[in-house]
């Protein structure tokens, strides 16, 4: 090429220097490799079972926020979620009475017996930045919370299918679903849909299992049950975002608490009479010995500076277990009793530590 062409070739030295700069010498790297750290929103069970698919929760929640805005409905983040399960001893009816006992600030929150989750949803709406650790020994219950949190759309579609079949063949379909015991652990949505369906169509919404962990409650009187509320499922999914869920014994949960934490403890209640026990939510019994263990753990956590609040029956046995703490009384409606005339208001105790 002539010198008058005006085009210049690149300097070989410059090119060589550029390639040298791009070599993977750790001292010269401008990009750092970051380790994949598990998302704290995922439970330990999900981390050790990689075959369970992970859904794009944040994207879907963002889409739902947009859809709510288009429809003129408040975004799910502004809606206080309600329990999506009927649960014996659920605390939704007591929240107004509980208000004076709840703390004015919240950082870490623990529940060793999550149940219907009414107190958690109430506090999460009030303290949206609190870190929550929700626990229960019932694997089907924890799985259902996981499904609501991570797969709300898939769960609602499966519930729609259950309802359609139930309407066409009510009793036969109920007992068909009830017979599907011990579904594979990886079937998160299927297991959750089964639990919600049975919970909403069985007698009095009672969840009771036998010694083999098999659900054994008969069909209820509902002919056209409302299995879910779409807005509430989305609000619950939003509230559960970032929450740590795990199947765990109450002893381990209580020992994980530390100074400044707040724990609400709602164990299976001490029966009011010899025939009033509805505590078989899991195959493990929760009797007098477990009540004593819980009281000892409550006392130990209080000494460590944990703020505690506990509910139980208003009976001498409970008052004696917690006689060194502040004991208050609230009134609750009793819904489970074979004699309808005995369903009414009863006293329950709320036990508080000084910092509760």
User: Per the domain annotation, does 103 fall within a domain?
Assistant: yes
Q: Once rounded to an integer, what is the mean pLDDT over residues 219-241?
A: 96
User: Per the domain annotation, does 59 fall within a domain?
Assistant: yes
User: Per the domain annotation, does 39 fall within a domain?
Assistant: no
Per-residue pLDDT for 84 more than 60?
yes
CATH number for the domain that contains residue 95: 3.40.50.150
Query: What pLDDT is attached to residue 44?
Result: 45
- Across 29-33, 106-110, 241-245, least confident range: 29-33
User: Per the domain annotation, does 210 fall within a domain?
Assistant: no
User: Per the domain annotation, does 273 fall within a domain?
Assistant: yes
User: Per the domain annotation, does 283 fall within a domain?
Assistant: yes
User: Per the domain annotation, does 324 fall within a domain?
Assistant: yes
Query: Which tokens go with 347?
Result: 């006293």
User: Per the domain annotation, does 200 fall within a domain?
Assistant: no
pLDDT tier at 282, thresholds 50, 70, 90:
low
Question: Could you tell me the residue range of the domain that residue 108 belongs to?
Answer: 44-138+229-352
> 């949960």: which residue's tokens?
253
Asked whether the beta carbons of 53 and 172 are under 8 A apart, the reply is no
pLDDT tier at 93, thresholds 50, 70, 90:
very high
- Across 83-87, 103-107, 120-124, 204-208, least confident range: 204-208
Query: Which tokens go with 47?
Result: 């981390």
Query: What pLDDT is attached to residue 283?
Result: 59
To the nearest 10°, report the CA torsion of 323, 326, 330, 332: -50
Residue by residue, what is the 3-state secondary structure of the chain? Answer: CCHHHCCCCCCHHHHHHHHHHCCCCCCCCCCCCCCCCCCCCCCHHHHHCCCCCCCCHHHHHHHHHHHHHHCCCCCHHHCCCCCCCCCCCCCHHHHHHHHHHCCCCCCEEEECCCCCCHHHHHHHHHCCCCEEEEEECCHHHHHHHHHHHHCHHHHHHHHHHHHHHHHHCHHHHHHHHHCCCCCCCCCHHHHHHHHHHHHHHEHHHCCCECCCCCECCCECCCCCCCCCCHHHHHHHHHHCCCCEEEECCHHHHHHHCCCCCEEEECCCCCCCCCCCCCCCCCCCCCCHHHHHHHHHHHHHHHHCCCEEEEEEECCHHHHHHCCCCEEEEEEEECCCCCCHHHCCEEEEEEEECCCC
Residue from 140, 270, 268, 266 nearest 199 by CA: 140
CA distances (Å), origin 249, targets 16, 113, 301, 331: 63, 9, 16, 29
Question: Number of structural domains, the chain?
Answer: 1
174 or 205: which leads in pLDDT: 174
């Amino acid at each position: 090429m002539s010198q008058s062409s005006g085009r210049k070739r690149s300097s070989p030295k410059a090119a060589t220097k550029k390639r040298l700069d791009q070599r993977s010498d750790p001292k010269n790297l401008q990009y750092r490799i970051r380790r994949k750290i598990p998302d704290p929103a995922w439970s330990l069970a999900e981390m050790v079972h990689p075959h369970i698919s992970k859904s794009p929760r944040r994207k879907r929640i963002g889409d739902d926020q947009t859809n709510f805005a288009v429809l003129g409905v408040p975004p799910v983040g502004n809606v206080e979620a309600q329990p999506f399960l009927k649960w014996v001893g659920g605390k939704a009816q007591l929240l107004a009475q509980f208000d004076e006992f709840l703390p004015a600030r919240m950082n870490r929150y623990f529940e060793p017996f999550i149940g219907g989750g009414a107190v958690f949803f109430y506090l999460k709406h009030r303290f949206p930045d609190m870190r929550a650790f929700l626990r229960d020994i019932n694997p089907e219950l924890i799985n259902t919370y996981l499904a609501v949190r991570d797969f709300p759309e898939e769960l609602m579609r499966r519930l729609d299918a259950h309802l359609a079949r139930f309407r066409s063949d009510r009793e036969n379909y109920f007992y068909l679903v009830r017979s599907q015991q011990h579904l594979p652990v990886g079937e998160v949505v299927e297991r959750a849909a089964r639990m919600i369906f049975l919970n909403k169509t069985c007698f009095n919404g009672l969840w009771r299992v036998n010694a083999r962990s098999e659900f054994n409650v008969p069909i209820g009187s509902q002919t056209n049950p409302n299995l879910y509320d779409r807005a509430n499922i989305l609000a619950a999914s939003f509230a559960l975002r970032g929450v740590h869920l795990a199947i765990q014994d109450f002893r381990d949960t209580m020992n994980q608490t530390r100074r400044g934490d707040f724990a609400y403890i709602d164990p299976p209640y001490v029966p009011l009479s010899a025939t009033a026990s509805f505590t078989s939510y899991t195959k493990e019994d929760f009797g007098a010995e477990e009540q004593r263990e819980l009281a000892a753990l409550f006392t130990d956590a209080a000494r460590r500076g944990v703020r505690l609040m506990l509910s139980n029956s208003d009976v001498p046995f409970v008052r004696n277990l917690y006689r060194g703490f502040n004991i208050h009384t609230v009134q609750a409606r009793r819904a489970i009793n074979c004699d309808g005339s005995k369903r009414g208001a009863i006293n329950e105790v709320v036990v508080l530590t000084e910092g509760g």
